[in-house]
Structure 1
Amino acid sequence: METAALAGLVLVVGIAVLLVVGAAISVAVGLSSVLAMFVVVGFDNGALTAAQQMFRGINSFALLAIPFFVLAGVIMSQGGIALQLINAGKVLVGRVPGSLPQTTVAANALFGAVSGSSIAAAAAVGTTMSPLAAKGGYDKNFSAAVNVASAPAGLLIPPSNLMIVYSLVSGTSVAALFMAGYLPGLLWALACSVVVYLYVRRRPELRETQRVGFRQGARVLLVALPSLMLIAVVIVGILAGFFTATESAAIAVFYSAIQAAIYRTIKLRDLPAILLEATKITAVVMFLIAASTIMGFVLSFSQIPELAAEAVFAFSENPVVILLLIATILLVIGAFMDATPAVLIFTPIFLPIVTSFGVDPIHFGIVMIFNLCIGTITPPVGTVLFVGANISGQPIEGIVRQLLPLLGALTICLIIVIFTPGLSLWLPGLFGLLP
């Protein structure tokens, strides 16, 4: 018992100290886990066991989906697909008051869903829509805040790499998670749209609309249809049993590459840079997963999940109170840690607690991802926030002030998702994906 306690202490303190001195999260997790492993099995066997755990962590067929979806996202980001989806967004919400920021919300939801990356969505959509919104008389900080707040919807609307990572850690079905994310993802986009509507309602000079004729709108949607069809190809193929989630990722690469070739938006000389970018992103994620596997071994040995469960049970035995408590903790964690490492680190700790109360792992996965998506737009470490600020050229402080109503609306949506499991479980149940 003393060895387990010492290993847990080395792990927790090591991660905290390394993060404070500015080490990368993957390095902090990996190095601290190896040091704790030395405590668990001794120095002689520690390095060998750590290497075995790292190999075991990434030796998974399901993980092949991550590099493929990353590559597909990079191809889409650099293939001009964002502009097609922005034009489609204009057609869909052009008659709604405040159509410029409403288009930003719609385009982010569409592009995020196609690319699976909130950062790519914020960068691609913000680059195009920020100048247009400024010309339309909108406050630049408000336009940037709308772009930042709406971009993470793509992490909930599949395909989503974050769902694949959660599936790996929790042992849940990727297909079920994909279907579970649709309604919460649409709720996220709707919340942003409502805040925009309330904003322009108090400013009559901003109630512009973009009336698009039927023929022009049909033409725009027809051009964007191949990009939107990627979502249908991936999801329908998985549900129909034509291919697995991993195979669907490879199909997404093939589909996006063919589309880029047809539209001639990517040249052969661009491929090395595209492949290098995808490799860099994939390497970071894979190393983090490998390092987190060592951490999982140490956590299991040191019984940290059991200790956390006992502490939570001592606080309350009400499932609703427990979910709200964990959601609050995750909101704080998300403000200081990127979403992927947070899923890898805290799923093994919190999942056993909530399942002991009868909470469905799929529902908890969506709650967790929704929490951490809010974290990506929250200072001080919100990655999407900083990307959006960089694209807009506006100071963080000004954007955050305009972001507060959007954060409030998204927090209300989080509470709705927590108290309404049907939002997450209805579609997976409808398609027979729940056990």
Structure 2
Amino acid sequence: MILFLAAFILLLCISAPITVALGGCSLVYALFGGAAPITTLIQTTFGGLTSFPLLAIPLFMLAGNLMNEGGLTPDLVNFARNILGHIRGGLGHATILACALFAAISGAAVATAVAIGVVMLPAMKKAGYDEGTAAALTCTAACLGPIIPPSIPFIIYGVASNVSIAGLFVGGVLPGLVLAAALMGYMHLVATRHDYPRDPKKSGKEIFLTAAKALPALFMPVLIMGGILSGMFTPTEAAGVTVVYSAAMGAFYYRQLNLKNLPRVFLKSGLESGMVMLLIAMSEPFAWFIAADQIPQLIIDWISQVTTSPYAILFLINIFLLLLGIPLETAPALVIVTPILVPIGAAVGIDPIHLGIVVCLNLVLGLITPPVGAVLFAVCGVTGMTLDRLSRAIWPPFFVSLAVLGIVTYLPWLSTFLPRLVLGR
């Protein structure tokens, strides 16, 4: 195991891509560690991608890109702006609402940040918002993407832990709404302090017309969750239905999706989902070798000697995951830590759905933690802002999100109430 970890750390230190680091250390351990034959490495790498629920990942990514190309996203943004634009800091509030609405379709933080940021960041800058504050708010609001269902991290966690993905989807609703409300409270304080402008209040007729135009996009979350909860289709089938619905609306209702831009959509979706699936594939042998060396049991034994309090263990898990989320992407981190953390949680009576939401929220915050957060890089690409400036601006909304993490961690009913009510879990 020392050889295994040494190879992993060495590859990270020489700035090797995370896929190379994960696969490289597994290869070194298979060749020289004597833990398993090289065929085990091959089998676990490919075997990790054969789970049917993982098919939902590329499908939800494709649905998000079809939304952007088909013209659904701008209508979501306009709807959010018309509802909230008239209050103090309305553009900031509209950004949060737009991220929440887009999150209910895409399930990914980076996609949410780019899709909403392209529209809202120039508008906030033009209205006189501080560019750093606007960009930091967009980054943090994009974290709603993996928390409000459907969620790609929830799918990965569900596959790795054998926990109901539908239960995780339903369990993420209240934590996502709490995070959105907390960010709106933060935005209200900032807007009041800096006297940010507000849009003219829209009439009821204007709001109705905007809502009517955005109705196909607004109906999509209802289609996804309604179909899953009613038993009409599984989360994976829901992803397929979402793709067909997005394509149909973009082609026939908005008339912006055609045969010319479809290849671009497929190429972008293929590259994005390919990166995620490669990370998962390289993480599988890494997680297998950790389990083969009984690392989870060793950790459980060590923790049981220190404390048996679920509250203390959740605190230790939060600290561990916040640190782990800085260098590691969400997907490989979930594949690696889930087999370790689920037995620990089960040993002290932590609900697996509650644990999954806490784990995913922790790792999602890693996406906005300087200096290597993926969402930070995405928003820098949209705005042209330097990473150094955005890294300084991100801390206030980051700490707001950290406070929400504490609330979700120690109020487990936020994660378990709806699954028990709706699914009886």
With the length of structure 1 as denominator, give the TM-score of the two structures. 0.94
Residue equivalent to 1:33: 26
Indicate if the aligned counterparts of 1:76 and 1:115 stay in contact, CA closer than 8 A: no
Checking the alignment, whether the CA contact within 8 Å between 2:156 and 2:334 is kept in structure 1 is yes
- Which among 196, 212, 215 is matched to residue 222 of structure 1? 212
Query: One-letter code of the match for 1:307?
Result: L
Q: Structure 1: which amino acid aligns with 2:3?
A: V
Task: State the match for 2:420 in structure 1.
Answer: 429
**2:14 counterpart (13, 21, 24):** 21
Residue 173 of structure 2 aligns with which residue? 182
Amino acid at match of 1:216: E
Instruction: Please give the alpha-carbon distance, in whole angstroms, between the structure 2 residues aligned to 1:238 and 1:112.
Output: 17
* Equivalence map 1:310-389=2 (5 Å): 310-389=301-380
Q: CA deviation at 1:222?
A: 1.0
Report the counterpart of residue 2 of structure 2 in structure 1: 9
CA distance in 1, matches of 2:23, 2:194: 52
- Distance of 2:398 and 2:108 partners within structure 1: 20
Select which of 242, 247, 258 maps to 1:257: 247
Root-mean-square deviation (CA, aligned residues, Å) is 1.6
Deviations 1:187-235 (A, max 9, x none): 111111111100111233x242441110110010111111121111111
Q: Contact 1:84 / 1:224 at 8 angstroms: preserved in 2? A: yes
In the TM superposition, residue 41 of structure 1 has moved relative to its aligned partner by: 5.2
Larger mean Cα displacement after TM superposition, 368-377 or 300-309: 300-309
SS in 2 for 1:292: helix
- Is 2:122 aligned against 1:131? yes
Counterpart amino acid of 2:2? Answer: L
Distance 2:395 2:288 in 1: 39
Distance (whole Å) between structure 1 residues aligned to residue 110 and residue 238 of structure 2:
22
Q: Distance in 1 between matches of 2:37 and 2:277?
A: 21
Deviation string, structure 1 residues 9-35 (Cα, Å, up to 9, x no partner): 222122111111122212211221132
Number of the residue aligned with 2:234? 244
Contact 2:85–2:198 (8 Å) recurs in 1:
no
Aligned position for 1:91? 82
More displaced 10-residue stretch of structure 1: 69-78 or 182-191: 69-78
Q: Report if the CA contact (8 A) 2:60-2:105 is conserved.
A: no
Q: Distance in 2 between matches of 1:122 and 1:59?
A: 30
Distance across 2 between alignment mates of 1:335 and 1:291? 18
Structure 1 residue 268 corresponds to structure 2 residue 268: no
Q: For 1:59-78, what aligned pairs fall within 5 Å after superposition?
A: 59-78=50-69
State the aligned residue count: 424
Q: One-letter code of the match for 2:223?
A: V
Residues of 2 paired with 1:66 and 1:411: CA distance?
A: 27
2:202 corresponding residue in structure 1: 212
The one-letter code sitting in structure 1 at the alignment partner of 2:241 is: I
**Aligned position for 1:3:** none
Separation in 1 of the partners of 2:334 and 2:153? 8
- Tell me, yes or no, if the aligned pair for 1:97 and 1:207 is still in contact at 8 Å: yes
In structure 2, runs of 5+ residues without a counterpart are: none
CA distance in 1 between partners of 2:424 and 2:367 (Å): 29
* Range moving further from structure 2, 288-297 or 169-178: 288-297
Q: Is the 8 A contact 1:337 1:381 kept in 2?
A: no
Aligned to 2:95: 104
User: How is 1:160-199 mapped onto 2 (pairs within 5 angstroms)?
Assistant: 160-199=151-190
Report the CA distance between 1:179 and its aligned residue: 0.3
Find the aligned partners of 1:353 and 1:315 in 2 and give their Cα distance: 13
Of 95, 102, 114 in structure 1, the residue corresponding to residue 105 of structure 2 is 114
What's the CA shift for 1:337? Answer: 1.5
Rounded to whole Å, the distance in 2 between the matches of 1:22 and 1:278 is 26
1:401 and 1:31, CA in 2 relative to 1: closer, same or farther beyond 3 A? closer
- The structure 1 residue matched to 2:286, chosen from 275, 295, 309, is 295
Provide the C-alpha distance between the structure 1 equivalents of 2:354 and 2:19, rounded to a whole number of angstroms.
Answer: 27
Residue identity in the other structure for 1:251: V
In 2: Cα distance, 1:128 partner to 1:276 partner: 23
Which amino acid is 1:51 matched to? Answer: I
1:38 is displaced (CA, Å) by: 3.2
d(CA) in 2 for partners of 1:202 and 1:286? 44
Q: CA deviation at 1:98?
A: 0.7
Are residues 273 and 433 of structure 1, via their aligned partners in 2, closer, same or farther at CA, if it must alter by over 3 Å? farther
Residues 260-314 of structure 1, C-alpha deviations (whole Å, 9 max, x = no match) = 1021222201122211222222222222222222122211211111122233233
How much has 1:40 moved relative to structure 2? 5.7
So what's the TM-score if we normalise by structure 2? 0.96
Pairwise CA distance, 1:39: 4.5
Percent identity, aligned pairs only, is: 37
Deviation above 6 Å: which 4+ runs of structure 1?
none
- In structure 2, how many angstroms separate the alpha carbons of the residues matched to 1:325 and 1:49? 32
Classify the secondary structure of the residue corresponding to 1:346: helix
> Which shifted more, 282-291 or 189-198?
282-291
The whole-number CA distance in structure 1 between the counterparts of 2:47 and 2:122 is: 48
Distance in 1 (alpha carbons) for counterparts of 2:321 and 2:259: 43
Matched, 1:154 2:154: no
2:101·2:218 contact (CA, 8 Å) conserved in 1? yes
Q: What is the one-letter code of the residue matched to 1:12?
A: L
Q: Structure 1: how far apart are the matches of 2:24 and 2:194?
A: 54
Counterparts of 2:307 and 2:9 in 1: how far apart (Å)? 27
Structure 1 stretch displaced more, 311-320 or 380-389: 311-320
* Mean CA deviation greater in 74-83 or 172-181: 74-83
Q: Deviations over 1:240-274 (max 9, x none)?
A: 11111111111011000001102122220112221
Aligned partner letter, 2:246: S
